[in-house]
A and B are shown apart, each in its own frame.
Chain A
Amino acid sequence: MSRVPDAIGVRVQRVVEHKLLVGGAAELEELLGRLLRCQDADPEPPVPKTLDLIGHSTPSTSLLQLGDWVIDGMDSNVVALFHRLATNRTLPRLGVHGVRLLGCNTAETSEGRATLDSLAKTLDLDVFGSVGFLFASHYVPDGFSDDWRFLLRAAHDLHDNPSENPQRVRRLDLETLPALAVSTAARAGPYRFVTNDIARRILAVIRGDAGAAMVGPALQSDYQIAVPSLQPRHHHIIDVLLAGRFVRVYPDGHEHPGILFPVADPAALGALVDELPLT
């Protein structure tokens, strides 16, 4: 909590039972170092917690201020401090799984959002700011009251917005699929390895103009077809689903949702691959 002797700060200090006052960056870093030494000497694992930094925010930019220190994620000195904490794993070793910048509107300005984003990336932790004014009545003896958590936003909440780009029907283009070394394929086997000739005949029974992502529970593949790519020892992977009624491919990469294509003739698909050994 910021060591600022103004009326609002004093009211918050009176409500919160367990708090530590800091007047700047050096004091915060030193304090965390002391806490870490205590924790390292304690045989008990740390209690999961958030690091709540409580203070006023700066006029117009709404950046949290602790004493004379403004936490500005675009300031290299600020980033360096949090980078040192990340390098030493100071916060995870203390059981801290998130950092909350509890000043008014710290998630409302572009500077504030950039700071949340910068700190979250540097620390690899959830970092929260506020989307409103914070008062002493938002605090209880344990700290910031859970009843008012709707006033907080995580850095990752401030990124994603519903897509303005419609999810259009996709076309199947084998050559644009990622080529993987099969042993490192994200969704491993069993595989049926096919030749380029069989691959062409498989494509002929797939309705390649009717691809779309599937929503709902992901379907388990029956097996996977490995098609040779132009890259040596790499293959394009096709999942076969629902007894050959569908295939699934990953044109946007295996870390993204797959695209399902209906199979016009599951029996013909089966005839092409069923005799091939599963590897």
Chain B
Amino acid sequence: MTRTVFYGFGAYVGAIDGLTTCSWWADDPASLKWSRQALVPVDLAKNPSAVRAGTLKVDDIEVDDHRVDGGLTTIGPRWPGGSPIGQVWLSDTYWNSLGNKPDRHPASAGGDAYDYELTSILYWVGPLAGRRFYGFHAKIVNCNGPLAQVEIWSGGTARGKQPAAGTWWVDLASSAHAVDPIATQIAIGGQQEGALFLDAPTARGLMVAYVKKPPGFGADFYP
């Protein structure tokens, strides 16, 4: 597999089974009536770091790394002591394999984000190997030569009619991802508003909040 696509969810841990294994609700458990059937299992150790350490195959990744290891997941990563409420970024392969697949958009925040704002891509081979891209909603407002001036929304907020977090000049050819068909949609001379996938250093340079999930929790910068 040349890449791993991760989908972001807000997570409330409801059961802990081991040092790195747990099950979580994808929405406020009270709204799910504390249903044990709604718990989603995950092994937080089945992550890209394990692939790099040679102890896991790429196809078996369940979840992105914790933030301390450069990923987007914020629950755990170990028990006890790990954070019980935060974000889980599941690999699309694992998400698709789940019998009780959680909705990409929980009922409590169904209208906040476009799917691509809750998507990140990590490449394993090819010219993008080792690079991470995070999805944003963006709108081109100006162009000049190779640079596009774009309004960019904080992660996971654009569909909720929030104002843009700001306006920046971006070299889409070097910092955005225009190769993968699921990635960047906007282009100079093309679609003017939609998905913009920025590589990790560029996303970090925006100094905007990354996906705020669960919605009641504080925000942080992109890792």
Contact = CB atoms under 8 A, between A and B. Distances in A.
Q: Do A and B come from one complex?
A: yes
Interface of A: 132-135, 138, 147-151, 160-163, 166-169, 210, 212-217, 242, 245-246, 260, 262-263
Nearest to B142: A210
B205 A215 contact: yes
Contacts of A163: 165, 207-208
Nearest to B163: A166
A151 B154 CA distance: 26
A163 B145 CA distance: 29
B81 A135 contact: yes
Given A162-B154, A246-B145, 10 more contacts: A134-B81, A135-B80, A148-B81, A162-B221, A167-B167, A167-B168, A214-B168, A217-B175, A246-B144, A246-B169
Contacts of A168: 166-167
A216 B81 contact: no
B220 interface: yes
B206 A215 contact: yes
For the side of the interface on B, what is the size category? 35 or more
A99 to B, nearest CB: 19
Contacts of B221: 160, 162
B175 to A, nearest CB: 4
A145 to B, nearest CB: 10
B169 A242 contact: no
A132 to B, nearest CB: 5
Nearest to B198: A215
Interface in B28-64: none
Interface in B194-222: 198, 201-202, 205-210, 218-221
7 contacts: A150-B67, A151-B81, A161-B218, A161-B220, A163-B165, A216-B170, A245-B144
Contact of A216 (B80, B205, B218): B205
